[in-house]
Amino acid sequence: MDSDIELQSLMARYQQGDCDAAAALVNRLSPQLHRFFLIQFVSRRHADDLLQETWLRIHEVRHTYLPGRPLLPWLYAIARNVRVDHYRKAHRAAGREEQLEENREFPAAATDHAAATADLEALLAGLPESQREVIAMLKVNGMSLEEVAHATSSTVGSVKQKAHRAYDRLRKGLAAMGLSNVRGRGAS
């Protein structure tokens, strides 16, 4: 993972108009932002759109970043706002659109790996949005509790509570799938 000091330096250079620094930030941070969106939507198309929108928003508000402050919480707060805006817009559009019946004549052939991935995605999708978001930031992107709290405009205690509840639900889901001996390590 990139050091925050290095990322802060790139961001400061980007704020001063350094195109190479901007490209370096996009190249280094896009994969983890993309994973963040994939966990939230489980749709590559939506994740791609949200990633692009996030970088456009970052470009528009780059002047608001305070040099010397941790970059990831600032960046994820923007990504989170983009995701919320997208959700609201999609929810309004869905209310105006008529849903078409799904074509069930062509069942998808699933491999064992694809089935396992689908099971994991289903477990994550079953979590409330706020818990999925916390899990994505903590476990997928490796952010600290403090960074997640800052990015989500909440307290460390609230982040811990959401993570604990998410872990509990995931453990129960895994147990229901026959993977009950996952408890133990780091299960609190």
What's the pLDDT at 162? 93
What's the pLDDT at 8? 95
Q: Quick one: which of 142, 141, 159 has its CA closest to 150?
A: 159
List pLDDT tens digits, range 87-132.
787 666 665 555 555 544 544 444 555 555 566 677 777 888 888 8
List pLDDT tens digits, range 127-165.
888 888 888 888 877 888 998 898 888 899 999 999 999
**33 touches 7 (CB < 8 A):** no
Per-residue confidence band for 188, with pLDDT thresholds at 50, 70 and 90: very low
What's the pLDDT at 77? 93
What's the pLDDT at 117? 57
Gyration radius (Cα) of the chain, Å: 19
pLDDT, mean over the chain: 81
Domains of the chain: 1-95 (1.10.1740.10), 112-179 (1.10.10.10)
The pLDDT of residue 65 is above 50: yes
Per-residue confidence band for 59, with pLDDT thresholds at 50, 70 and 90: very high
Segments in 16-154 forming alpha helices (H): 19-41, 44-61, 71-96, 112-125, 129-135, 145-151
Per-residue confidence band for 42, with pLDDT thresholds at 50, 70 and 90: low
Structure tokens at 179: 């993977």
CA geometry: angle 4, 5, 6, nearest 5 deg: 90
Say if pTM beats, i.e. exceeds, 0.85. no
